[in-house]
Amino acid sequence: MEKSEILALIDSLSVEEKIGQLVQLTGDFFADGTETTVTGPIKKLGLHQGYNIYHTGSILNITNAEEIIKIQDKYLKNSTHKIPLLFMADIIYGFRTIFPIPLAQTCSWNFDLIEEAASVSAKECYEEGVHVTFAPMVDIVRDPRWGRVMESPGEDPLIAELYAQRVIQGIQGKDSEQKIPADKIAGCVKHFAAYGAPVAGREYNAVDMSEHTLREVYLPSYLAAVKAKVKLVMTAFNTLNGIPSTGNEWLNKKILREEFGFAGVLISDYAAVEELITHGYANGAKEAAHLALKATVDIDMKTSVFANELAGVVQSDEQMMTLLNEAVYRIVSLKNELGLFEDPYRGLKNKSAESSSILSVKHKETALRLSEESIVLLKNDGILPLEKDKKVAIIGPYHDETSTLGMWAIKGDVKDTITLKEGINKISEADHHQFCRGSHLLEKGSTQSLGKYEEQIPNEPISQDELIEEAVKVAENVDIVILALGESIYQSGEGGSRTDLTLPKPQQELFESIRALNKSLITIIYSGRPLILTDVEKQSNALIQAWFPGTMGGEALARILYGVTNPSGKLSMSFPRSMGQIPVYYSELNTGRPNLAENGFYRFASRYIDESNQPLYPFGYGISYTTFRYKNISLNKKQMTHHDELIVTVEVENVGNYDGDEIVQLYLKDRFGSTARPIKILKDFKKVFIKKGETKSISFTIVEEQLKIYRNDMSYASELGQFDVFIGSNSEDLPLKETFELVGE
Ligand code: BGC
């Protein structure tokens, strides 16, 4: 449809029909028997008696072709204007082929591969009839107590920007300016804004931060998504400096729409419009509707507020009526861009089991590669890679666990998971291995803290003591023990904030019992967040961070254990040493009294008296089976102007015994600024494959854009002066340093 046709269509709608477009319901509203009568779900939501469900604009979390066809059919038969329904769902990191959780994906620093994974998800969604996915989440997170860190790209703005941009390209296609092509769907970036910074890491809690930090650290990833032409944005649940995001006109209208130029659909998070009342911001439903519409929210997800109140809000208020029309225009345009007017059953025609790409060999290969590149080797005293003839015991609740997909894999099926045991058996001879559970996953009696997910935790039929006893017996007869440990997938994700990030107690007991045998010990950690691994690392010969590695995780781990794949992942988030350090992140400010090594234990420095300032593992950290030596940094000039390009070149030599990938990282420090500058900030990186014995020359180009900062008046510009450039293998190990100056023309 042309714009004029869309406008004419909107013109022909009644106010009620327009409002309906802004309402999002779940599929149960269209179950048989609902027709026009008020049913259970309608009552539960509190929709007014006269609400006609055939005015509704979109449906939440129906993800299977058959149901989508049924609901769309019924809807189109019953609705007057036959504007097709939009089907939206949370397909966050895979539809049926499940990839590692996003926090793991960004540890690959391989954004081509991340984009490929996103296009696999989009294709599987397309084939099943889903039109919009609520991904990517690009909230920066520096506090691992917050459970949704597993869905985030981590702590760094550059990594989050690249993640935003490339996932959107994978989901929507590169040229998604207007129409979304076949095999692609619409993306929805979330949660606008700064949802990842709740006070004390507690879910849904208030966010309080300076506008400066908001702009410099938290907003760039959303902006990158808008630049990548994301079709939808989702508001956040939280307040930002006292105003709930969903009713925040400054945030959504002024920043998102006017400043960033976002012209797409703004959807509230689940029930967030109604929660404006609970926040104590809207005095009742009508005011909530008014505030949300005024903040240019287009879709009310799963409450009756817009449905019940908007008519009253727009009645005899021209400005609000205009806002309503604009919202309808944006929603109908999205339907048009998806081609729904030509084909309301988009992706579902000529569907057959044979033509389906869902869980295809190719998709699983992409998942395997991304799992391999997301896994981070944190410690290795030389025990890895394993020699094939060594006798190994693989012990722990994750030794053969299928539930390793993470909490947001709503369509993932654990039956598809390749477990660690299966992966190892595929690679190495079965008679060299023994497997046993060794421990309960969680402490008995602690599972009620998981709320509605408690029932997903299987009963432990064997007592903890018996499990440990068996594990010790098994371990006594082998050369090497691999402990596969971690948190439950339900301990992270939404509503999964925690105050103690050490391993669950029973697993600590197992760890202690095995450690006491003095065997060589390799520990693998499954988790949705950085855990506190300070004791575990001390007593392990090798430590591997597996995250929740997705469908192919067990195979990826086995390939790494046996050296088929040389690990290359590097952390996208710092691992704290202790709870009290949280939040700990690399790009901190210098302070007036930095804790300098040369001052020894100087009390009046910015430090703890009982803990180091350094994390256990810093951002950007991860080791390989080989060793890389950094040398010979050079700049093509020492001064640059605003229009120049400055080239930094270094050499990286593979001095170890394996071929491998290295992620070469470039950090900058602006020596002086009109606002205090971080001690370093990642500005570029390259992932390069270097054969053993080979030296590669690697060049980075620095341009003025990378030198810009937010100033006190919130203008964004570079400032003349000196910059240090550091290059190395992680945010702490930066052996190469040079200095250059930005000068006037
Ligand atoms: C989450 C969103 C999600 C939505 C729809 C909310 O609880 O915060 O990220 O997209 O539910 O399922």
pLDDT above 60: residue 34: no
Residue 695 DSSP label: E
Residue 280 pLDDT level (bands cut at 50, 70, 90): very high
Residue 504 DSSP label: P
- The pLDDT value given to residue 41: 67
Q: Which two tokens stand for residue 621?
A: 């950290």
Residue 673 CA, distance from chain mean position: 32
Query: Is residue 134 within 6 Å of ligand 1 at its C-beta?
Result: yes
pLDDT above 80: residue 1: yes
Peptide bond into 191 cis (omega under 30): yes
pLDDT tens sequence across 559-599: 999 999 999 999 999 999 999 999 999 999 999 999 998 98
Length reported for the chain: 745
Q: Whole-number mean pLDDT of the chain?
A: 96
Q: What is the residue type of 553? A: G
- The pLDDT value given to residue 354: 79
Give kind and range of the element (H or E) at residue 703: strand 695-703
Place of tokens 């597993």: 150
CB atoms within 10 A of CB 564: 14
Mean pLDDT on 319-340: 98
CB atoms within 10 A of CB 694: 12
Q: What whole-number distance in Å separates Cα of residue 109 and Cα of residue 52?
A: 48
Peptide bond into 615 cis (omega under 30): no
- The pLDDT value given to residue 32: 64
- The pLDDT value given to residue 177: 67
pLDDT above 90: residue 175: no
- 260 CA distance to ligand 1 centroid (A)? 23
Peptide bond into 193 cis (omega under 30): yes
CB atoms within 10 A of CB 128: 25
- 644 CA distance to ligand 1 centroid (A)? 44
HEC profile of 262-303: CCCEEECCCCCCCHHHHCCCCCCHHHHHHHHHHCCCCEEECC
Active site residues: 269
Which protein residue's CA is at the shortest distance from atom 7 of ligand 1? 270
- Indicate if the alpha-carbon torsion angle 276, 280, 285, 287 is positive or negative: negative
Which of 139, 146, 269 for mutating ligand 1's site (highest number of atoms within 8 Å of CB)? 269
**Cβ contacts of 258 within 8 Å, gap of 6 or more:** none
- Low-confidence winner among 195-209, 222-236, 344-358, 539-553 (lowest mean pLDDT): 344-358
Q: Which two tokens stand for residue 398?
A: 């994750």
Of 281, 332, 289, the C-alpha closest to 307 is 289
Query: Is residue 192 within 6 Å of ligand 1 at its C-beta?
Result: no
pLDDT above 70: residue 36: no
Query: Do residues 366 and 117 lie in contact, with contact meaning Cβ atoms separated by under 8 Å?
Result: yes
Residue 332 pLDDT level (bands cut at 50, 70, 90): very high
- Indicate if the alpha-carbon torsion angle 117, 402, 409, 64 is positive or negative: positive
111-126 core/surface letters (b: 16 or more CB in 10 A; e: else):
bebbbbbbbbbbbbbb
- The pLDDT value given to residue 341: 97
Q: What whole-number distance in Å separates Cα of residue 127 and Cα of residue 43?
A: 33
Which protein residue's CA is at the shortest distance from atom 6 of ligand 1? 270
Phi-psi region for residue 176, left (φ > 0), alpha (ψ -120 to 50) or beta?
alpha
* Cα-based torsion angle of the residue sequence 450, 451, 454, 456 in order, rounded to the nearest 10 degrees: -90
Query: Is residue 494 within 6 Å of ligand 1 at its C-beta?
Result: yes
